[in-house]
Amino acid sequence: MSKTDSFAGTTVSRSPVYGTRGMVVSGHSLASLAGLRTLERGGSMVDAMIACSAALSVVVPQATSLGGDAFILYHRASDGRTIGMNASGHAPAAATLDVYKAGIPHRGPLAFSVPGMIRGWERMHARYGKLPWADLFADAAALAEAHPLSRVLAGALDLFREDVEGDAGCRDVYYPDGEPLPAGAIVRQPALARTVGLIAEQGSSVFYEGEIAQSIAAAARAQGGVVTADDFAGYEPEWVEPLESGYRGLTIRVMPPNSYGVLMLMQLNALDGVDPAELSGDESRRLAYLMRAQRAAFAAGQKHIADPRTNPAPIDRLLGDETTAALRAEVSGAAQTAPAMAHPAAGTSCITIADGEGNGISVVQSVFHVFGSAFLDPGTGILMNNRMTGFSTDPESANVLVPNKRPAHTLNPVVVLDGDRVRYLLTTPGGPSQTLSHVQILNNLVDRGMELTAAIEAPRWSITLQGETLLDEAFDDGIADRLAEEGFPVKRAAGAAYFGSAKVIEVAKDGVLMGAADRRREAFAVGA
């Protein structure tokens, strides 16, 4: 796919794309087109999301797959509601701390939880779909039969070769002659194509109660896993009410825990008390405010991110006046000690869709780390997540591993409203840095008045595994020096692994849709 291609009134581009009927922004041009074609065939926004999501699961398996999870926010203009779908899965029934007493492995059959995305699709389709379920998977099935390998996937096959080539299922697909497939090579996944066809024909039951679950469980247990077909059976995603808070007169809506979304709202609550001029002027001062907000919010809130069915977070307190006042005091004061963080690099893909009627959807879907568990079931062609690593093994942690529990998730789709209408839809990969990337983008759009593409491609900062501050190499060295004086010694880095890859739609007051995709990764805006 070239930088910009047009046909039948459709535009695919890395640059800003404008439209009035429909728009998709995602991590791959082929998947974006699958979503837009579904809209053009009379499909609903949810239909388009499913078609795009399924296609992404085929062409960017290092980031998302049928063996992964998703968090979805769907805003309906007809009633002003934003509906949340938590399609994250749970730990197997036999996944006890005793099984993982040596720690939770990042790779292999002990690393994955029951995936939730496919049943999440089906439950949303039952309420909001227009086209028949079976009609939503033609693009994904065709891509599974044959598609060109992306440059990002090619790079990942080399970078993570030891882990990925070590799995027989992955090796057969991506190292057919003993060497990783190069960018542009044709990828053929006949087992996955058959699986997509089964899901199209039989719905999610074939995945959770049928032969797909049986195949995955048998393959995992043959290699020492503990998951069984019974762990899949009866899985249900959860309809949830989004959390919301305000920022400069806008309403920000995010997913509740087990998502990290509340940490984004806490950062914005802290920053909303700062004079906008301070967040649009001197660069080092602006960044210091943002960094203090992130550290304060994570220090106060991260320990509460867990499955609310077993460990409900004190949301009213975290978003309440007392906590907000304390956060604002910290943002205006000295730098805090950096808390230890999970590494921001992750395997995640995103979708945002808006239409000319005021509806919008933001989706973040993921296998967690790049290539997830690096465990691909040869019988189904499905690469599994490694979400078990999202748990803690500390018995005192709210997020401690317990059988049938959901782990904490960094996935953070965002809907921003101006009054009762969608203003922005935001998504990005990047592990826990998703929340701070979104805060930076909103700061650029709202406080600094930047144009959409400039706002998402501007240099950003992030965090490391040890809680160290990373500064984009595009920032001037003088800024790094001044941040050190503010109490924020920084290291330099570049690329999507640390700074995410935003996919954002802005809805103008006249209803024109503007979409942009971050240059940091293979991401495309599609508009019509």
> Which one, of 407, 392, 406, lies nearest residue 103 by Cα?
392
378 residue type, one letter: P
Integer Cα distance of 341 and 466 in angstroms: 6
Neighbours of 458 (CB within 10 A): 16
Q: Which residue has the tokens 């529990």?
A: 405
Integer Cα distance of 233 and 213 in angstroms: 8
- In the structure, how many helices (H) and strands (E) does the chain have? 19, 23
Catalytic residue among 348, 380, 435, 453: 348
Q: Do 364 and 348 touch, CB atoms closer than 8 A?
A: yes
Sheet containing strand 490-493, edge to edge, reads: 461-463, 469-472, 490-493
Compute CA distances 21 → 25, 48, 369, 514, whole Å: 14, 13, 35, 11
Compute CA distances 295 → 135, 266, 299, 432, whole Å: 46, 10, 6, 12
Read off φ and ψ for residue 516, nearest 5 degrees. -145, 150
Hey, which residues does 147 pair with through a beta bridge?
187
Compute CA distances 213 → 196, 208, 235, 498, whole Å: 14, 5, 11, 34
> Which one, of 433, 96, 148, lies nearest residue 263 by Cα?
433
3-state secondary structure of 452: helix
Query: Left (φ > 0), alpha (ψ -120 to 50) or beta: where does 389 sit?
Result: alpha
> Which one, of 412, 394, 416, 407, lies nearest residue 505 by Cα?
416
Q: Do 473 and 450 touch, CB atoms closer than 8 A?
A: no
Dihedral angle over CA of 47, 53, 54, 60, nearest 10? 160
For the record, the structure tokens of 173 come out as 């697909």
393 labelled catalytic: no
3-state secondary structure of 187: strand
Q: What single DSSP character describes residue 334? A: P
Q: Do 504 and 456 touch, CB atoms closer than 8 A?
A: yes
Quick check: bond before 399 cis, omega within 30?
no
Active centre residues (catalytic): 348
